[in-house]
């Protein structure tokens, strides 16, 4: 089992805190991680699967007050409409047990409460194993050799453990996210149109999106498309980046682009698991993997970063810009990796350098990607 970077801190917080909120995509090992921690600490616990109606109905404040277990885990807690009441009950000292709230979708609680949990170090985001975690487990050389596999199949644990069934696993996962998770909450009811929208985004990963164009091609209005994209961002499927600009001429001012949190999800949507030498979308694969892995690292380590992309009306682009207390860095992807060849060298747009001479820039290639994926500053 790959050692997760947050395990040590999770163990410490479970010893000192009455409440933890753990969020992240479905099937990324949240429950397995908790169970390993409980087993090592000899901690008694009870898991309530809130996606099951009978278990939701069993849950109440009285139920929690009467628990003899040391910890109660609320799995898929985004299904609880009164989740905020249970969290307030913990803070009010109503329960003897500790409460671990696990969500694979943005829970229905106040943003102020989520912010308070984050400030107190009680909020964790668990993704599929990151490149750095896999490199720590398998070794950097081995993980680098597996890069082509990661670009095609992604990083979900079930996929890594059974590549022969990868396509089926990923199809089941995206079906579950669309129909079971989102549909069960009555947030959306048009599954075919949702999948069509996701497919179009997958073909155009990292490029500016037009709500109007997507709507026309999916049979949806602009507001509905925008809402759907937000829903999938809340479900940790999509990463939406706003455009970086300072009002300069030629810059896109109010644009957004979309990346997928996992390359395997992106590829199953376009039904393409061909090896790299048979593909014409290497730039999209490499760009998506770099951005998704960097965002994963930022959120797993609670780095205070704002993230953007940059593009002009003449289609000059930087794929990823991050801004933090120590300044800004801008990156452009170059898929000239593990033998992939390009006809010309990738360069940072001169217009960006002219507009922002103070911002450091880098091309993401075989020599630079490791530092990019693990940089903490």
Where do the structural domains in the chain lie, given as residue ranges? Answer: 7-125, 131-374
Q: What CA–CA distances, in Å, run from 191 to 71, 183, 364, 368?
A: 37, 8, 36, 40
Q: What CA–CA distances, in Å, run from 236 to 147, 151, 181, 249?
A: 22, 18, 12, 34
102 sits in the region (left: phi over 0; alpha: psi -120 to 50; else beta) called beta
Cβ atoms of 103 and 132 within 8 Å: the answer is no
**Structure tokens that stand for 191 in this block:** 């599954």
Predicted pLDDT of residue 251? 95
**Structure tokens that stand for 135 in this block:** 């490199």
- Provide the residue-wise pLDDT of the chain in tens; the chain has 377 residues: 788 989 999 999 999 999 999 999 989 999 999 999 999 999 999 999 998 889 988 888 778 888 878 899 999 998 888 888 888 888 778 888 889 999 998 887 878 888 888 888 899 999 999 998 998 888 888 888 889 999 999 999 999 889 999 999 999 999 888 875 455 444 456 778 888 999 999 999 999 999 999 999 998 889 989 988 998 999 999 999 999 999 999 999 999 999 999 999 999 999 999 998 899 999 999 999 999 999 999 998 888 899 999 999 999 999 999 999 989 999 999 876 545 555 467 889 999 999 999 999 999 988 889 889 888 76
Q: What is the pTM of this model?
A: 0.91
Q: At what angle do helices 222-234 and 211-218 cross, to 10 degrees?
A: 100
Thinking of the domain 7-125, which architecture would CATH place it in? 3-Layer(aba) Sandwich (3.40)
């Amino acid at each position: 089992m790959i050692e997760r970077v947050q395990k040590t801190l999770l163990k410490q917080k479970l010893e000192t805190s009455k409440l933890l909120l753990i969020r992240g995509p479905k099937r990324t090992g949240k429950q397995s991680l908790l169970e390993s921690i409980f087993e090592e600490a000899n901690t008694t616990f009870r898991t309530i699967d809130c996606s099951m109606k009978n278990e939701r109905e069993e849950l109440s404040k009285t139920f929690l007050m009467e628990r003899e277990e040391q910890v109660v885990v609320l799995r898929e807690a985004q299904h609880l409409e009164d989740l905020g009441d249970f969290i307030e009950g913990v803070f009010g000292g109503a329960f003897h047990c500790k409460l671990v709230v696990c969500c694979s979708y943005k829970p229905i609680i106040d943003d102020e409460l989520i912010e308070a949990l984050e400030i107190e170090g009680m909020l964790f985001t668990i993704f599929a194993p990151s490149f750095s975690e896999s490199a720590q487990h398998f070794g950097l050389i081995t993980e680098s050799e597996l890069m082509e596999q990661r670009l095609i199949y992604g990083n979900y644990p079930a996929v890594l453990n059974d590549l022969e069934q990868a396509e089926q696993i990923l199809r089941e996962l995206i079906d579950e996210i669309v129909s079971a998770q989102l549909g069960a909450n009555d947030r959306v009811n048009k599954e075919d149109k949702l999948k069509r929208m996701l497919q179009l985004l997958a073909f155009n990963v990292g490029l500016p999106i037009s709500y109007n164009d997507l709507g026309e091609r999916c049979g949806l209005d602009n507001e509905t498309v925008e809402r759907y994209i937000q829903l999938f961002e809340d479900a940790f499927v999509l990463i939406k980046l706003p455009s970086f600009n300072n009002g300069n001429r030629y810059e896109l001012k109010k644009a957004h682009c979309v990346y997928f949190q996992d390359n395997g999800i992106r590829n199953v949507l376009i039904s393409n698991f061909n090896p790299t030498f048979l593909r014409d979308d290497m730039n999209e694969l490499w760009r998506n993997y770099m951005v998704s892995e960097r965002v994963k690292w930022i959120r797993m380590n609670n780095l205070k970063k704002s993230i953007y992309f940059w593009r002009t009306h003449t289609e000059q682009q930087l794929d990823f810009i991050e801004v933090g207390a120590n300044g800004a860095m801008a990156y452009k992807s170059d898929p000239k990796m593990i033998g992939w060849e390009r006809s010309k060298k990738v360069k940072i747009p001169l217009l960006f350098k002219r507009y922002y001479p103070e911002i450091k820039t880098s091309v993401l290639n075989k020599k630079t990607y490791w530092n990019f994926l693990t940089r903490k500053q």
